[in-house]
Amino acid sequence: MGKILGRYIFREVVVASVVVTAVLLVILLANQVAVVLERAAVNQFPQGVVLQLIWLGALQNLSILIPVGLLLGVVLAFGRMYHDSEMAAALACGVGPGTVYTPVALLAIVVAAGLAWLTLSLSPDATARTLSLRSAAARAGRFAAIAPGKFRTFGGSAVVYAEDVNPDGTLGNVFVEHNRGPRVEVALAERARHSVTADGMTHTITLYDGERFEGVPGSPQFRIVRFAEHVVPIQVPTPSDVVKNIEAQPTQDLIGSRDPEKRAELHWRIALPTMCLVLTLIAVPLARLRPRQGRYSRVWLTIVVYFAYSNLVSAGRVWLARGTIPEFLGLWWTHAAIVLLALAFIAGPRMLANLRLRLRS
């Protein structure tokens, strides 16, 4: 009976965890697509790079989703079994804690091993490839020519549109909007030429035979100027990356380093698989329901525990990088703190009840 129950618990937890992780991944991908498309529009990334950046970004963030997905999967699976009285029937038949914890522990070990491979090897490589692709795409975008019939943005400070492009490179029926602080300049010209400096950081639009409208939006004062030739220099902002280069360094380089930031990054990569083990094991007692409780009654508590745990690990990473806590402690103290807190929450009410009975007697 124990083996059958163990396989049943294993299957229920795996199914719930996969579903939760898939839902979280879809939400992450939706946000990732919006961020990548915005950056691609600003920096004029080639179309082939966008999908690669979305995939690599999802791979980098998957290490954050797996622990919470497994935690919620355990809580939801056991919550359903407690709600449907399946666990009550199993416990009434003499099933011990070992039968309940063994399949969950095996799953936690397997997932933690895969997560360790992801955080220590795959994720740094994905981060390095992301930075390389962004840099190459930004360089290619800076030197890209203006395409006919399409709006071209330059870092949000200027927009250029050309109805057609002649074989000699001359632009026809050109629209240019250039922001200079609160003042906006809009120019229309019959033809124009587009040139780029050697570093690709400055684009020059030379307009011929057109009009320029200049003023502050919302203000009644504006100026109209007709010109035979007008030069619009556009400075392209330097592309910035939100991902630190230290996150792209191989784990082998972090192991031999004595730099506090690199040591903190190493402890962070090790902490994620450890979080997976700790969260999975404390999820089983957290999912225990009292009679007449709803199957989702403990989900909110699980989310609170996860956010407290993740924020504590993130704070410990910053303190470790700054030298506030000694390096030999690493982030192991955060795992111990969460385990003690979970034990106090789980065993605390029972201990208080026993103490009250002793005092009454």
Residue with structure tokens 């790079």? Answer: 49
Q: What is the pTM of this model?
A: 0.69
Q: What angle do CA 59, 339, 6 make, to 5 degrees?
A: 70
Determine contact, residues 204/234, Cβ cutoff 8 Å: yes
pLDDT band at 43 (very low <50, low <70, confident <90, very high): low
* CA nearest neighbour of 255 among 114, 60, 57, 121: 121
pLDDT, residue 41, reads 65
Q: Is the pLDDT of residue 325 over 60?
A: yes
Question: Does the pLDDT value for residue 212 go beyond 80?
Answer: yes
The span from the CA of 39 to the CA of 239, in Å, is 9
Question: Three-class SS string for 133-180?
Answer: HHHHHHHHHHCCCCCCCCEEECCCCEEEEEEEECCCCCEEEEEEEEEE
Q: Are strands 222-235 and 151-153 parallel, antiparallel or unpaired?
A: unpaired
Cα dist from 8 to 81, 99, 277, whole Å: 11, 11, 20
Tell me what the mean pLDDT of segment 124-141 comes to.
Answer: 75
Q: Is the dihedral of CA 58, 62, 68, 74 positive or negative?
A: positive
Residue 240 pLDDT: 54
Give me the pLDDT at residue 238, please.
64
How large is the average pLDDT for residues 79-104? 80
Q: Is 288's pLDDT higher than 60?
A: yes
> 181, 194, 191: which is closest to 227 by C-alpha?
191
110: pLDDT strictly greater than 90? yes
For residues 234 and 44, the model is more confident at: 234
pLDDT score for 274: 92
Interior/surface letters 115-136, b for 16+ CB within 10 angstroms, e for the rest: bbebbbeebbebbbbbbebbee
Number of neighbouring beta carbons within 10 Å of residue 257: 15
What are the phi and psi torsion angles at 121 (to 5°)?
Answer: -125, -60
Residue 114 pLDDT: 92
At 119, list the tokens: 């955080």
